Amino acid sequence: MLLEVGYVGRPHGLRGEVVVRLVSNVEDRLAPGATLHARDGTLVVETARPLASGRGAQLSQWVVRFAGISSREGAEPLTGASLLAEPKAGGEALWVHEIIGSEVVGVDGQRHGLVLSVEANPASDLLVLGSGALVPLRFVVASEPGRLTVDVPAGLFEL
């Protein structure tokens, strides 16, 4: 199974570079030689650098050149493409596709509902629960298939 790790924004300059919005916290997804999948093809990262800070720049945006693409015209068809990659082994990562539908339970055993989605947020991604509650992912203290245990500040679930 492939995971979405980013998507291509617009071309950047005239030499085939594109702006990539990385949605993975693993920056080596864009290391030279890394293989990504998009639409009907495979892309190999040739170079990548963070987009220079300035007006409108975001930390998760990168300027990337893929092997074999050397002009703006060659880069334009990539606009809007999702970038997919193999999961990285190891670690205690939580995968969005695995936690959707999981039950969220407090450390006290109280049930708080099911995860409907995960919303990106600069401070901490948010678990969106069926009750409408938003729980920062950093409060997850344990996970097992179908269940997430959270240790949240008092009042977080009070609407």
Q: Tell me: the pLDDT tens digits for 121-139?
A: 777 788 999 989 999 988 9
pLDDT per residue over 48-99, tens digit each? 999 876 555 455 889 999 999 999 999 999 999 999 988 765 556 677 778 8
Give the pLDDT confidence score for residue 32 in this predicted structure: 95
Yes or no: say if 108 and 59 are a contact pair by the CB < 8 Å rule: no
Give the confidence band of 30 by pLDDT, cuts at 50, 70, 90. Answer: very high
The answer to whether the 3-85 and 96-150 domains have the same CATH topology is no
**DSSP SS3 for 92:** coil
Question: Which CATH number describes the domain made up of 96-150?
Answer: 2.30.30.240
CA–CA separation, 41 vs 86, rounded Å? 14
Predicted local distance difference test score (pLDDT) of residue 81: 94
| Domain limits, the chain | 3-85, 96-150
Q: What is the pTM of this model?
A: 0.60
Pick from 54, 56, 41: nearest CA to 9: 56
Mean pLDDT of 9-26: 90
Q: What is the fold, at CATH topology level, of the domain defined by 3-85?
A: Elongation Factor Tu (Ef-tu); domain 3 (2.40.30)
